[in-house]
Structure 1
Amino acid sequence: MKLFNLPDLGEGLQEAEIVTWQVKPGDSVQQGQLLLSVETAKAIVEIPSPEAGIIAKCYGEDGDIVQVGDPLVEFRIESGTATAPPPQPKREDPGAVVGEVKSGAEVIRERPSEISNRAGGGIKATPAVRALAKQLDVDLSIVTPTGPKDTVTAADIQRVAKILAEVGPMELLRGVRRSMARSMAQAHAEVVPVTLFDVVDIQHWKTGEDVTVRLIRAILAACEAEPALNAWYDAHAIGRRLLKKVHLGIATDTPDGLFVPVISDVGQYSAGQLREQLDQIKQAVKERSIAPDRLRGNTFTLSNFGTIAGRHANPVVVPPTVAILGAGHSYDAVVAVNGEPHVHRVLPLSLTFDHRAVTGGEAGRFLGVLMQSLSE
């Protein structure tokens, strides 16, 4: 037998979700024939057979998440000699105990353990309580301890188990949503975010004005005037790279999660061409046919969340970029014109920047030029 493992899919991706198998045990396949499709954080990838042969075993089912290097397919070699599949790594459970699990009514006399493990590193709980948590499928890290010296008790486990039973089963995040969760966690851990809020008067805009295109043109003008916000920050080197071309990421909401397709060198396009680019990437995202290279390399991000709802927000800067502009829902407001009150249409703006790489002055000047562009 010969194993074929999940290959390196590039882009630093370490896992993928099996979408669908195209083969089954007993099938004869040719080199290059499609074996299965997997979904990564970037796109759906088709994996071909590395050689011709007969499929002896398929590892994993539709919906399973596999890591790079995990076995996918076992091929039967010509000799027909069967070998046992490689042993899977054992997942040790430090909370497991031998013996009967005590009920919450019993007094637990064991010494609380603070052994670090995936279910609750550094959490004070006796072995019996850890076993009860395992039995009731309760993650110790989400339990608020009420015992002496912040020790988790059996009653704490039972309380949380009852709550979890009421809210329903766990829904694991997959594909794009899984990637989004990791990106947001990275951003929260690394970025020092600051957000500037303002509104710009757009009363003079023509009926049917393309808001997204106007925002893109304004971003270009602001990046030219204040290049510090069109940059990548390197946390390890503690340095930044200012970029001459603006590769704009457009935050796009879908039922599968948040995509950020990129329009490379956005400044090369006219207003009409920008609308064509926006329509193309929107359709490609909807069909899940967008190329992986169109989901990376952005230097600045635009989130036009106002098309859904909301005026202001705290958009999240995802490393290595250092800034993101959010445009809220436009509304009518009373403004002063030559000392007289008038009702004008205004557009709320939210500019978040990474204060490690961008100063408040740089961000303020950027926003000022952007608003001036939108006012013209």
Structure 2
Amino acid sequence: MKYFKLPDLGEGLPEAEIVEWHIKEGDEVKIDQILVSVETAKAIVEVPSPQDGVIAHLFGAAGDTIHTGEPLIEYISEEDDDTGTVVGEIPDAEGNEAGDDFIIGAAPSTRAHQSARATPAVRALARRLNVDLNGLQGNGRNGAITPEDVEQAASMNKVHGHAEPLRGVRKQMAKTMALAHAEVVPVTLCEDVDIHNWPSGTDVTMRLVNAIAAGCKAEPAINTWFDGASLSRRQHSKIHLGVAVDTDQGLFVPVLRDIGQRSTEELRKGLDKMRADVKARTIPPKELQGATITLSNFGTIAGRYASPVVVPPQVAILGAGVIRDQAVAVDGEVVVRRVLPLSLTFDHRAATGGEAARFMREIIRVLEQDFSEESTG
């Protein structure tokens, strides 16, 4: 018997969720044949077979989470030699070949701990009461799960229904937001932009992209990564803009590279392609990495102002609200103008209020220009 472990799927992603098996136990497979589709925090990935063989056992079902290096498939194979870190026998702590007693969803270093957290009697009670022990807080000795813990969870499920665990993108989003909340010292600056003179059909997103590029050039401190542990910052010469994309699966932030050196037409084509790839879940993980500043154009849905969340190591995110007609004072008279509300959140550990205000001032200046000859879309 040989085992195929979940390989490193790139960008250091530690786990994946099984979406769909494309084979079943007993099937004969060929090398590079697609075995399973898994969902990481970034994309859906098809995992190919590393060898020819017959499938003896599948570890996990659709919806299960497995970690890099955990068993995925067991082969019946004529090959006896170990082929490396991906396909090979999995020894237990005493050097014997491991069986099926690991727990899908537990990190390799914590499987023994997870197994010890509940006695066989408690696990049997959990099965009878349809309680998922994963994530259940144990109140027994050394964090062990007690019968009372299981019964309390069963009672909660009966009254309020079963809790739905976050998976895939939403799970990663929750972790990222918690990290941002713990690390960043956020301040939000809001302002309105008079865009009444914009031509009909103006590409709002591209106007914002170009304005952010101008703002970063005027105030480089905003186009920065900050390391809170070492209290150091790294200013970037290129501007890589993360653009928040809302989907049913959760929030994706693909990255438009080097926005200060590319034409509006090129940037629009690049953004359209990334959005299509996000919706199809085919965007490469590397295209979701490396942003130096982020744009959230939430106003395409609803909302005037917000306090967007800065995700470390970035130090700033610009939010654009709903464009609306608004009564404003112009030359001593009240007139109705088209107004775009902006919300800039910045990490006050890395940027001063003056730097943030100068960045915002330059964005407003660029947005309020009347580019009547601008291409629209």
Structure 2 length normalisation: TM-score?
A: 0.81
Residue-by-residue CA offset, 1:58-93 (whole Å, 9 max, x unaligned) = 11111211111211011113399x977253235256
User: In 2 relative to 1, CA 335–273 (structure 1 residues): closer, same or farther, beyond 3 Å?
Assistant: same
State how far apart, in whole Å, the 1-side matches of 2:79 and 2:45 are: 32
Give the Cα separation in 2 of the matches to 1:233 and 1:263: 20
Distance 1:53 1:292 in 2: 30
Contact preservation (8 Å) 2:136, 2:145:
no
Match of residue 57 from structure 1: 57
The answer for the alignment partner of 1:23 in structure 2 is: 23
Do the aligned residues in 2 keep the contact of 1:95 with 1:131 (CA within 8 Å)?
no
- Taking only the aligned residue pairs, the percentage that are identical comes to 53
Alpha-carbon distance in 2 for matches of 1:326, 1:71: 43
Q: Which residue of 2 aligns with 1:9?
A: 9
The CA distance in 2 between the partners of 1:128 and 1:223, in whole Å, is: 52
Q: 1:249 aligns with which of 235, 242, 246?
A: 242
2: CA distance, partners of 1:225 / 1:174: 40
1:1-376 matched pairs, under 5 angstroms: 1-78=1-78, 85-88=99-102, 89-90=111-112, 91-92=114-115, 119-120=136-137, 131-137=147-153, 161=156, 164-376=157-369
Structure 2 counterpart of 1:143: none
Distance in 2, matches of 1:171 and 1:23, equals 27
Deviations 1:253-304 (A, max 9, x none): 1111111111111223222222222222221212222222211111110000
Q: C-alpha distance in 1, partners of 2:151/2:197?
A: 65
CA contact (8 A) 1:97 1:128 kept: no
Q: 1:194 Cα deviation (Å)?
A: 0.8
Q: Is the 8 A contact 2:11 2:285 kept in 1?
A: no
C-alpha change, 1:118 and 1:282, in structure 2 (3 Å) is: closer
The 3-state SS of whatever aligns with 2:153 is coil
Higher mean displacement: 84-93 or 211-220: 84-93
What is the aligned partner in structure 2 of residue 112 from structure 1?
none
The Cα shift of 1:98 comes to 8.3
Unaligned stretches of 5+ residues in structure 2: 81-88, 90-96, 103-110, 123-133, 370-377
The structure with higher relative contact order (CA 8 Å, sep 6+) is: 2
- The answer to whether the Cα contact below 8 Å between 1:95 and 1:134 also exists between their aligned partners in 2 is no
CA drift of 1:187 comes to: 0.7
C-alpha separation in 2, matches of 1:260 and 1:128 = 39
